[in-house]
Amino acid sequence: MNDPKKIFWVASYPKSGNTLMRAMLSSLFFSQKGKYSNELLDWIESFETCARLKFIEEENPQDIKKINNLKVLSKYWKEMQSEKRFNIKESFCFIKTHSALTNIFGNKFTNEKLSRGLIYIVRDPRDILLSWSKHRNKSIDDTLDFMLNVDSTIAYNDIHFLKDQNLRPLQYISSWNVHVRSWKNLEVPKIIIRFEDLIEKKQDILKKIINFFYIEYGISINNIEEKTENILKTTDFNFMKMLEEKFGFKEALNHTKFFNIGKKNQWKDQLTLQQTKIIEKNFKKEMEYFNYL
Protein backbone atom coordinates (compact mmCIF):
# COMPACT_ATOMS: atom_id res chain seq x y z
CA MET A 1 0.00 0.00 0.00
CA ASN A 2 1.60 3.24 -1.11
CA ASP A 3 -1.30 5.44 -0.08
CA PRO A 4 0.06 7.99 2.43
CA LYS A 5 -3.22 7.97 4.33
CA LYS A 6 -2.90 5.76 7.38
CA ILE A 7 -5.87 6.17 9.66
CA PHE A 8 -8.74 3.71 9.52
CA TRP A 9 -11.28 5.02 12.01
CA VAL A 10 -13.28 2.86 14.40
CA ALA A 11 -15.76 5.50 15.47
CA SER A 12 -18.92 5.62 17.53
CA TYR A 13 -20.86 7.61 20.05
CA PRO A 14 -19.87 6.40 23.56
CA LYS A 15 -21.34 3.07 24.74
CA SER A 16 -22.35 2.00 21.24
CA GLY A 17 -20.24 -1.13 20.84
CA ASN A 18 -16.85 0.34 19.93
CA THR A 19 -15.04 -1.96 22.36
CA LEU A 20 -16.70 -5.07 20.95
CA MET A 21 -15.83 -4.00 17.42
CA ARG A 22 -12.20 -3.37 18.38
CA ALA A 23 -12.09 -6.76 20.10
CA MET A 24 -13.21 -8.42 16.87
CA LEU A 25 -10.87 -6.40 14.65
CA SER A 26 -7.83 -6.88 16.86
CA SER A 27 -8.49 -10.62 17.10
CA LEU A 28 -8.91 -10.79 13.34
CA PHE A 29 -5.81 -8.78 12.38
CA PHE A 30 -3.41 -9.03 15.32
CA SER A 31 -3.70 -12.58 16.61
CA GLN A 32 -2.64 -15.85 15.02
CA LYS A 33 -5.78 -17.82 15.81
CA GLY A 34 -8.43 -15.18 16.48
CA LYS A 35 -8.50 -15.68 20.24
CA TYR A 36 -9.35 -12.40 21.97
CA SER A 37 -7.55 -11.09 25.05
CA ASN A 38 -7.73 -7.61 26.57
CA GLU A 39 -4.12 -6.93 25.58
CA LEU A 40 -5.07 -7.06 21.90
CA LEU A 41 -6.99 -3.80 22.27
CA ASP A 42 -3.63 -2.03 22.56
CA TRP A 43 -3.28 -2.52 18.80
CA ILE A 44 -6.19 -0.12 18.26
CA GLU A 45 -5.25 3.03 20.13
CA SER A 46 -7.46 5.95 20.95
CA PHE A 47 -6.82 9.10 18.94
CA GLU A 48 -7.50 11.20 22.02
CA THR A 49 -4.34 10.63 24.02
CA CYS A 50 -2.14 13.30 25.52
CA ALA A 51 0.93 11.62 24.01
CA ARG A 52 -0.24 13.02 20.65
CA LEU A 53 -0.03 16.52 22.12
CA LYS A 54 3.65 16.43 23.05
CA PHE A 55 4.70 18.34 19.95
CA ILE A 56 2.44 21.23 21.01
CA GLU A 57 4.05 21.28 24.44
CA GLU A 58 7.49 21.41 22.81
CA GLU A 59 6.77 23.79 19.93
CA ASN A 60 3.96 26.01 21.25
CA PRO A 61 4.24 26.21 25.06
CA GLN A 62 1.72 29.05 25.20
CA ASP A 63 -0.93 26.91 23.49
CA ILE A 64 -0.35 23.89 25.71
CA LYS A 65 -1.30 26.08 28.67
CA LYS A 66 -4.72 26.50 27.05
CA ILE A 67 -5.07 22.98 25.64
CA ASN A 68 -8.26 22.42 27.67
CA ASN A 69 -9.85 25.02 25.39
CA LEU A 70 -11.34 23.34 22.31
CA LYS A 71 -10.71 26.44 20.21
CA VAL A 72 -6.99 25.90 20.82
CA LEU A 73 -6.93 22.11 20.57
CA SER A 74 -9.09 21.88 17.45
CA LYS A 75 -6.63 23.89 15.36
CA TYR A 76 -4.16 21.01 15.84
CA TRP A 77 -6.52 18.15 14.85
CA LYS A 78 -5.30 18.07 11.26
CA GLU A 79 -1.61 18.17 12.18
CA MET A 80 -2.12 15.45 14.82
CA GLN A 81 -3.23 13.18 11.96
CA SER A 82 -0.42 14.14 9.56
CA GLU A 83 2.38 11.77 8.57
CA LYS A 84 4.83 14.00 10.41
CA ARG A 85 3.01 13.69 13.73
CA PHE A 86 1.32 10.33 13.34
CA ASN A 87 4.22 8.19 14.42
CA ILE A 88 3.12 4.87 12.92
CA LYS A 89 5.50 2.95 10.67
CA GLU A 90 2.79 0.87 8.99
CA SER A 91 0.85 2.42 6.12
CA PHE A 92 -2.45 1.27 7.61
CA CYS A 93 -3.65 1.41 11.21
CA PHE A 94 -6.87 1.36 13.18
CA ILE A 95 -7.65 4.27 15.49
CA LYS A 96 -10.57 4.53 17.90
CA THR A 97 -12.48 7.73 18.51
CA HIS A 98 -15.69 8.94 20.12
CA SER A 99 -15.27 12.45 18.70
CA ALA A 100 -17.86 13.82 16.33
CA LEU A 101 -16.65 14.60 12.81
CA THR A 102 -17.75 18.19 12.91
CA ASN A 103 -16.36 21.60 12.12
CA ILE A 104 -15.85 23.85 15.13
CA PHE A 105 -14.02 27.17 15.21
CA GLY A 106 -13.28 26.61 11.51
CA ASN A 107 -11.49 23.33 12.22
CA LYS A 108 -12.79 19.96 11.01
CA PHE A 109 -11.96 16.85 13.06
CA THR A 110 -10.80 14.86 10.01
CA ASN A 111 -11.39 14.59 6.28
CA GLU A 112 -11.10 12.28 3.29
CA LYS A 113 -7.46 13.22 2.66
CA LEU A 114 -6.42 12.00 6.10
CA SER A 115 -8.64 8.93 6.39
CA ARG A 116 -8.23 5.53 4.74
CA GLY A 117 -11.60 4.23 5.82
CA LEU A 118 -14.20 3.92 8.53
CA ILE A 119 -16.21 1.48 10.58
CA TYR A 120 -18.93 3.35 12.41
CA ILE A 121 -21.02 1.60 15.05
CA VAL A 122 -24.48 2.97 15.75
CA ARG A 123 -26.79 1.95 18.60
CA ASP A 124 -30.36 2.68 19.65
CA PRO A 125 -30.02 5.96 21.59
CA ARG A 126 -32.59 4.80 24.14
CA ASP A 127 -30.26 1.97 25.17
CA ILE A 128 -27.22 4.25 24.99
CA LEU A 129 -28.95 6.51 27.50
CA LEU A 130 -29.04 3.73 30.08
CA SER A 131 -25.54 2.43 29.45
CA TRP A 132 -23.94 5.87 29.24
CA SER A 133 -25.70 6.93 32.44
CA LYS A 134 -24.21 3.97 34.33
CA HIS A 135 -20.78 4.51 32.81
CA ARG A 136 -20.76 8.23 33.70
CA ASN A 137 -22.27 7.55 37.14
CA LYS A 138 -24.83 10.26 36.38
CA SER A 139 -28.62 10.28 36.43
CA ILE A 140 -30.62 9.31 33.36
CA ASP A 141 -32.00 12.85 33.05
CA ASP A 142 -28.53 14.38 33.29
CA THR A 143 -27.28 11.95 30.62
CA LEU A 144 -30.29 12.71 28.44
CA ASP A 145 -29.37 16.41 28.56
CA PHE A 146 -25.81 15.43 27.54
CA MET A 147 -27.05 13.42 24.54
CA LEU A 148 -29.25 16.30 23.37
CA ASN A 149 -26.59 18.98 23.76
CA VAL A 150 -24.71 19.85 20.55
CA ASP A 151 -21.86 21.23 22.68
CA SER A 152 -21.27 18.10 24.77
CA THR A 153 -17.68 17.11 25.47
CA ILE A 154 -15.79 14.51 27.47
CA ALA A 155 -12.27 14.79 28.87
CA TYR A 156 -9.24 12.82 27.75
CA ASN A 157 -8.53 9.95 30.14
CA ASP A 158 -4.73 10.01 30.13
CA ILE A 159 -3.21 13.24 31.41
CA HIS A 160 0.13 11.98 32.71
CA PHE A 161 1.96 13.17 29.59
CA LEU A 162 1.17 16.80 30.37
CA LYS A 163 3.27 18.80 32.80
CA ASP A 164 0.17 20.53 34.14
CA GLN A 165 -2.24 17.72 34.92
CA ASN A 166 -5.05 20.17 35.71
CA LEU A 167 -5.32 20.77 31.98
CA ARG A 168 -7.71 18.16 30.66
CA PRO A 169 -8.08 18.24 26.86
CA LEU A 170 -11.60 17.65 25.60
CA GLN A 171 -13.19 15.45 22.96
CA TYR A 172 -16.04 17.15 21.14
CA ILE A 173 -18.93 14.67 21.18
CA SER A 174 -21.91 16.87 20.28
CA SER A 175 -25.46 15.43 20.35
CA TRP A 176 -26.21 11.85 19.38
CA ASN A 177 -27.87 12.71 16.08
CA VAL A 178 -25.17 15.18 15.04
CA HIS A 179 -22.51 12.59 15.88
CA VAL A 180 -24.15 9.89 13.77
CA ARG A 181 -24.78 12.21 10.85
CA SER A 182 -21.24 13.63 10.90
CA TRP A 183 -19.53 10.25 10.40
CA LYS A 184 -22.21 8.90 8.07
CA ASN A 185 -21.27 11.61 5.58
CA LEU A 186 -17.52 10.90 5.46
CA GLU A 187 -16.79 9.92 1.86
CA VAL A 188 -14.29 7.09 2.30
CA PRO A 189 -14.67 3.30 2.08
CA LYS A 190 -16.84 2.58 5.11
CA ILE A 191 -19.18 0.20 6.85
CA ILE A 192 -21.88 1.39 9.23
CA ILE A 193 -22.91 -1.37 11.63
CA ARG A 194 -25.76 -1.43 14.10
CA PHE A 195 -24.78 -2.61 17.58
CA GLU A 196 -27.89 -4.76 17.63
CA ASP A 197 -26.72 -6.66 14.53
CA LEU A 198 -23.25 -6.96 16.03
CA ILE A 199 -24.82 -8.78 18.97
CA GLU A 200 -27.41 -10.91 17.17
CA LYS A 201 -25.75 -11.52 13.79
CA LYS A 202 -22.07 -11.45 14.72
CA GLN A 203 -21.01 -14.13 12.26
CA ASP A 204 -22.69 -12.32 9.36
CA ILE A 205 -21.13 -9.02 10.42
CA LEU A 206 -17.69 -10.61 10.71
CA LYS A 207 -18.01 -12.04 7.21
CA LYS A 208 -19.09 -8.63 5.96
CA ILE A 209 -16.01 -7.03 7.54
CA ILE A 210 -13.66 -9.64 6.05
CA ASN A 211 -15.16 -9.11 2.59
CA PHE A 212 -14.97 -5.34 2.99
CA PHE A 213 -11.23 -5.34 3.66
CA TYR A 214 -10.60 -7.73 0.78
CA ILE A 215 -12.67 -5.75 -1.73
CA GLU A 216 -11.57 -2.26 -0.67
CA TYR A 217 -7.93 -2.88 0.30
CA GLY A 218 -6.96 -6.29 -1.08
CA ILE A 219 -6.35 -7.62 2.45
CA SER A 220 -6.74 -11.38 2.79
CA ILE A 221 -7.16 -13.10 6.15
CA ASN A 222 -5.33 -16.36 6.76
CA ASN A 223 -7.10 -19.34 8.40
CA ILE A 224 -10.45 -17.56 8.23
CA GLU A 225 -12.51 -20.49 9.53
CA GLU A 226 -10.41 -20.97 12.67
CA LYS A 227 -10.27 -17.26 13.36
CA THR A 228 -14.01 -16.85 12.85
CA GLU A 229 -14.79 -19.69 15.26
CA ASN A 230 -12.48 -18.31 17.94
CA ILE A 231 -13.61 -14.71 17.51
CA LEU A 232 -17.24 -15.72 17.95
CA LYS A 233 -16.38 -17.59 21.15
CA THR A 234 -13.98 -15.15 22.76
CA THR A 235 -15.80 -11.91 21.93
CA ASP A 236 -19.03 -13.23 23.38
CA PHE A 237 -20.32 -10.66 25.88
CA ASN A 238 -20.25 -13.08 28.82
CA PHE A 239 -16.69 -14.14 28.00
CA MET A 240 -15.52 -10.50 27.89
CA LYS A 241 -17.38 -9.77 31.11
CA MET A 242 -15.60 -12.71 32.72
CA LEU A 243 -12.24 -11.31 31.59
CA GLU A 244 -13.09 -7.99 33.22
CA GLU A 245 -14.08 -9.65 36.48
CA LYS A 246 -10.87 -11.69 36.47
CA PHE A 247 -8.32 -9.15 35.21
CA GLY A 248 -10.09 -5.78 35.31
CA PHE A 249 -10.62 -3.47 32.34
CA LYS A 250 -8.76 -0.20 31.95
CA GLU A 251 -11.59 1.61 30.15
CA ALA A 252 -13.96 1.23 33.12
CA LEU A 253 -14.61 4.49 35.00
CA ASN A 254 -15.86 5.48 38.44
CA HIS A 255 -15.37 1.97 39.84
CA THR A 256 -18.23 0.70 37.69
CA LYS A 257 -18.17 -2.39 35.51
CA PHE A 258 -17.55 -1.65 31.84
CA PHE A 259 -19.37 -4.77 30.60
CA ASN A 260 -22.76 -4.42 32.19
CA ILE A 261 -25.59 -6.10 30.25
CA GLY A 262 -24.92 -5.68 26.52
CA LYS A 263 -28.43 -6.33 25.29
CA LYS A 264 -30.90 -4.37 23.20
CA ASN A 265 -34.25 -2.91 24.27
CA GLN A 266 -33.26 -2.47 27.91
CA TRP A 267 -34.89 0.95 27.69
CA LYS A 268 -38.39 -0.54 27.54
CA ASP A 269 -38.31 -1.43 31.22
CA GLN A 270 -36.17 1.39 32.54
CA LEU A 271 -36.98 4.66 30.78
CA THR A 272 -40.02 6.72 31.63
CA LEU A 273 -42.52 7.49 28.90
CA GLN A 274 -41.41 11.12 28.95
CA GLN A 275 -37.72 10.23 28.55
CA THR A 276 -38.56 7.91 25.68
CA LYS A 277 -40.66 10.53 23.91
CA ILE A 278 -37.92 13.16 24.23
CA ILE A 279 -35.38 10.89 22.56
CA GLU A 280 -37.74 9.75 19.81
CA LYS A 281 -38.83 13.31 19.04
CA ASN A 282 -35.32 14.79 18.90
CA PHE A 283 -33.64 11.89 17.10
CA LYS A 284 -36.56 10.83 14.91
CA LYS A 285 -34.85 11.21 11.53
CA GLU A 286 -31.75 9.17 12.40
CA MET A 287 -33.72 6.58 14.38
CA GLU A 288 -36.02 5.97 11.42
CA TYR A 289 -33.02 5.69 9.07
CA PHE A 290 -31.51 2.91 11.18
CA ASN A 291 -34.88 1.22 11.82
CA TYR A 292 -35.09 2.05 15.51
CA LEU A 293 -38.55 3.55 14.91
Local structure of residue 141 (DSSP, 8 states): H
Domain assignment present for 164 = yes
What pLDDT, on a 0 to 100 scale, did the predictor assign at position 86? Answer: 74
DSSP code per residue over 226-277: HHHHHHHHHTSHHHHHHHHHHH--TT--TT--S-----S-THHHHS-HHHHH
Domain assignment present for 1 = no
Q: Are 211 and 138 in contact (CB under 8 A)?
A: no
Q: Please tell me the pTM assigned to this model.
A: 0.89
What is the number of structural domains in the chain?
A: 1
Domain assignment present for 2 = no
What pLDDT, on a 0 to 100 scale, did the predictor assign at position 139? Answer: 96
What pLDDT, on a 0 to 100 scale, did the predictor assign at position 22? Answer: 94
Domain assignment present for 27 = yes
Residues 222-255: pLDDT tens digits? 899 999 999 998 888 776 666 666 545 555 445 5
Domain assignment present for 247 = yes
Residue ranges of E strands in the chain: 7-12, 45-46, 93-97, 103-104, 107-108, 115-122, 153-155, 170-172, 190-194
Domain assignment present for 252 = yes
Domain assignment present for 128 = yes
What pLDDT, on a 0 to 100 scale, did the predictor assign at position 41? Answer: 87
Q: Domain containing 45 — which CATH number?
A: 3.40.50.300
Q: Half-sphere exposure of residue 257, counting CA atoms within 13 Å on the CB side?
A: 14
What pLDDT, on a 0 to 100 scale, did the predictor assign at position 14? Answer: 96
For the CA atoms of 97, 200, 253, 147, the dihedral, rounded to the nearest 10 degrees, stands at 60
Enclosing domain of residue 83: 7-289
All residue ranges of the chain with pLDDT < 70 are 1-5, 87-91, 159-165, 239-263
Would strands 115-122 and 153-155 be described as parallel, antiparallel, or unpaired? unpaired
Residues 171-195: pLDDT tens digits? 999 999 999 999 999 999 999 999 9
What pLDDT, on a 0 to 100 scale, did the predictor assign at position 157? Answer: 81
Domain assignment present for 132 = yes
What pLDDT, on a 0 to 100 scale, did the predictor assign at position 83? Answer: 81
